[in-house]
Structure 1
Amino acid sequence: MNNGRKVAEGGVLLALYSILLFLAIQLPFIGSILFFILPIPFILIALKQNMTWAFGFLFIACLLTMIFGTILSLPVALLTGFPGIVIGYHLRKNYSTIKIFISTVLVMLACIIVIFGFSVWFMNVNVITESIGMLKTSVEKSSEMLAAFGKAPTDKSLEDIYVAIDLMDTLIPSMFVMTSIILSFLILLVAQPFLKRFSEKKLKWPPFRELQLPKSILWYYLITMIIAMTTNPNQGDFLFTVISNLLFILQFFVLLQGLSFVFFWSHRQGWSKVIPIIIIILLLMNPVFQFIVRFLGIIDLGFPLRQNIAKKK
């Protein structure tokens, strides 16, 4: 591809990015949706050009972001630009969708940590601490309103609420990881139809029912639970923070494995696709279903359950 065509193509993609960015800034509600479309120009430029062009494109996009918004809008360009370039590069190298997803999660996580660290240490702004403070204030005001109607919550209830809120501060690392996983998945999901239209490369996700996480996750989970039960660290201790975050992430993966088994079983039995979706809804609404699905995940990781079921059919 000659330089003239490269420049023209880059200009079109920059124009597309600028329009999407302008709409995202001017229309905040729609902006939350457009965020997942903003990586598309970066994906396409990295897919068709070399890394020098891709990072040059990102540099200009950062300048445009500060022109259309302010320096506070710069994280939007970074959180969409770097993952977009990674996705485009890996697609050009014909990496599997799973490898692309893992790489995107790692890059997204690195961007979130850098942005958070910069805001705390250089701008003295901790979004999470401020959010926790606002949440506590909201609980206090709600408690006062209920007391005015003669339905004040008990001291034990308020204490449990405040403990749960304080736990959010402990789970900051897990929140970063989970946010990176969710954002990366949604970006790749939104990118699929655009890639079908503007590229020959495809994102081919394996069926969710075939998901098999490493069995080592089960051992990490069990060891972490044993350490938690035997040491019983106090909230605020370093060990408490480490164990809480490990359990949070590992429980998520075990739950994911359990859901995969539910989809596998549903497929083997020829059930309607609606049934697993109903189970997911119940899972979100009732902790009891979370325990059951997590237990299925433990069994699926620890025993050759799927192989035995497949032999019987």
Structure 2
Amino acid sequence: MNQSKRLKDGALLTTIYIILLLVTILFPLTSMILTFVLPVPFIIFAARHDWKPSLIMLTATIILSALFATVFSLPLSLLYGIGGIMIGAAIKRKLSAYETWARGTVGFVAGLLFALLFAQVLFDISFVEELNERMNDTIQISQSMMSEFGLDEEIIEQQISIVEESLSTFNDLLPMLLVMMGLIQALISQWIGYKVSNRIEKSNLRFPEFRNLQFPVAIIWIYFIALVVSLLQQDPDSILFMGLQNVLILTGFFMAIQGFSFFFFFAYYKKMSKSIPIIVTIISLVLLPLLLPLIRILGIIDIGFGLRDRMMKNEKK
């Protein structure tokens, strides 16, 4: 019975995935939305049957996507399959929403790396080289446009050098960008997976209130160790320096998220209107370059010193 149900679920969800993939390929405008929906069939299957049978489904999906879609869809199936299976397997084990998100992030980052490696080996397509080529084309177009407008050559050279330096930094931060992409993909796909699973399975999967988000103290230690080592390592061309910059930006991102979470907690604690923390967050995002350090410091204090726990204890006294 279980084997029969597993086969039926696998066949149905694989068919749904192939249809979604074909729609994504045939109608590129839908890709912005469907990129977050494509992992859902894997999430549902893995949540029901765990990761081992899901690998069989992934193998079947890769073969069928090559037959019915295009060979170039294979990296996409790897990406969505690995990430979706990691989220679904975490749901199967009844892990918390944030633990599931963390595993999903690892899955999508691994899927991205596999997809890039797959494209490099099978199609001889280097993502980094393609990206650099597109960026160089953009620089040349911008340079020719500025020349046509009659700008001074010295000013043009200064502007181009600034852009080239920014692009060089972008390449150095590529690992961090991959992790950020994995974080966003996992978060939205997991949320959609929760909604679908709740409707089909009559379960009650959901993310806790954002105000209750609490990252581990280890994030602060990682941030400060990377900060101290980066002060000692001043060679911008070294692999260690580039790695440290990626770690600093990523951990800083988590602490900023913690700071925003504290806004929502403080508003709830003071019984303020729900719109107030939303407005504060929007203003903070608009003025991000100015306010980001303050938000990050707030996150550090909240994580390191248990700010909200101290407020709750003082209230009990």
TM-score, normalised to structure 1's length? 0.89
Q: 91-100 vs 146-155, which deviates more?
A: 146-155
CA distance in 2, matches of 1:151, 1:120: 41
Sort the Cα spacing of 1:129 and 1:278 in 2 relative to 1 into closer, same or farther, 3 A: farther
**Corresponding residue for 2:220?**
218
Superposed CA deviations along residues 171-191 of structure 1, whole A, max 9, x for unmatched, are 121112111111111110111
Counterpart check, 1:256 vs 2:260 = no
Residue 135 of structure 2 aligns to a residue whose secondary structure is helix
Would the aligned equivalents of 2:80 and 2:111 in 1 still touch at CA under 8 Å? no
Sort the Cα spacing of 1:88 and 1:217 in 2 relative to 1 into closer, same or farther, 3 A: closer
**Corresponding residue for 1:140?**
140
Counterpart check, 1:279 vs 2:280 = yes
Residue 125 of structure 1 aligns to a residue whose secondary structure is coil
1:280 maps to amino acid: T
CA distance in 1, matches of 2:65, 2:114: 18
Superposed CA deviations along residues 189-209 of structure 1, whole A, max 9, x for unmatched, are 111221111114332322221
**Corresponding residue for 1:190?**
192
1:31 positional shift:
2.4
**Corresponding residue for 1:239?**
240
Residue 85 of structure 1 aligns to a residue whose secondary structure is helix
Sort the Cα spacing of 1:228 and 1:48 in 2 relative to 1 into closer, same or farther, 3 A: closer
Counterpart check, 1:78 vs 2:87 = no
Would the aligned equivalents of 2:256 and 2:292 in 1 still touch at CA under 8 Å? yes
**Corresponding residue for 1:266?**
267
Q: 83-92 vs 184-193, which deviates more?
A: 83-92
Sort the Cα spacing of 1:154 and 1:4 in 2 relative to 1 into closer, same or farther, 3 A: closer
1:51 positional shift:
4.6
Alignment of 1:101-116 (within 5 A): 101-116=101-116
**Corresponding residue for 1:309?**
311
Sort the Cα spacing of 1:15 and 1:231 in 2 relative to 1 into closer, same or farther, 3 A: closer
Would the aligned equivalents of 2:220 and 2:300 in 1 still touch at CA under 8 Å? yes
2:253 maps to amino acid: F
Would the aligned equivalents of 2:143 and 2:156 in 1 still touch at CA under 8 Å? no
Alignment of 1:121-132 (within 5 A): 121-132=121-132
Would the aligned equivalents of 1:192 and 1:203 in 2 still touch at CA under 8 Å? yes
1:151 positional shift:
4.4
**Where do 5+ consecutive residues of structure 1 fail to align?**
none
Please provide the CA RMSD for this pair.
2.3
**Corresponding residue for 1:40?**
40
1:77 positional shift:
1.4
Residue 221 of structure 1 aligns to a residue whose secondary structure is helix
CA distance in 2, matches of 1:197, 1:22: 25
**Which runs of at least 4 in structure 1 moved beyond 6 Å after TM superposition?**
none
Residue 36 of structure 2 aligns to a residue whose secondary structure is coil
1:270 positional shift:
2.7
Sort the Cα spacing of 1:148 and 1:207 in 2 relative to 1 into closer, same or farther, 3 A: same
Counterpart check, 1:167 vs 2:169 = yes
Sort the Cα spacing of 1:305 and 1:33 in 2 relative to 1 into closer, same or farther, 3 A: same
1:218 positional shift:
1.8
| Number of residue-to-residue matches in the alignment | 312
CA distance in 2, matches of 1:243, 1:4: 50
TM-score, normalised to structure 2's length? 0.88
Q: 276-285 vs 58-67, which deviates more?
A: 276-285
1:241 positional shift:
1.3
CA distance in 2, matches of 1:50, 1:211: 27
Sort the Cα spacing of 1:121 and 1:167 in 2 relative to 1 into closer, same or farther, 3 A: farther
**Corresponding residue for 2:88?**
88
2:32 maps to amino acid: S
Would the aligned equivalents of 1:132 and 1:166 in 2 still touch at CA under 8 Å? no
CA distance in 2, matches of 1:14, 1:231: 49
Q: 119-128 vs 25-34, which deviates more?
A: 119-128
> In percent, how many aligned pairs have the same letter?
29
Counterpart check, 1:99 vs 2:87 = no
Sort the Cα spacing of 1:284 and 1:60 in 2 relative to 1 into closer, same or farther, 3 A: same
CA distance in 2, matches of 1:156, 1:113: 35
1:52 positional shift:
4.9
CA distance in 2, matches of 1:6, 1:213: 37
CA distance in 1, matches of 2:306, 2:103: 29
**Corresponding residue for 1:208?**
210
1:43 maps to amino acid: I
Q: 278-287 vs 186-195, which deviates more?
A: 278-287
Would the aligned equivalents of 1:211 and 1:257 in 2 still touch at CA under 8 Å? yes
Sort the Cα spacing of 1:134 and 1:103 in 2 relative to 1 into closer, same or farther, 3 A: same
2:146 maps to amino acid: L
2:172 maps to amino acid: T
Would the aligned equivalents of 1:24 and 1:30 in 2 still touch at CA under 8 Å? yes
1:118 positional shift:
3.0
1:166 positional shift:
0.5
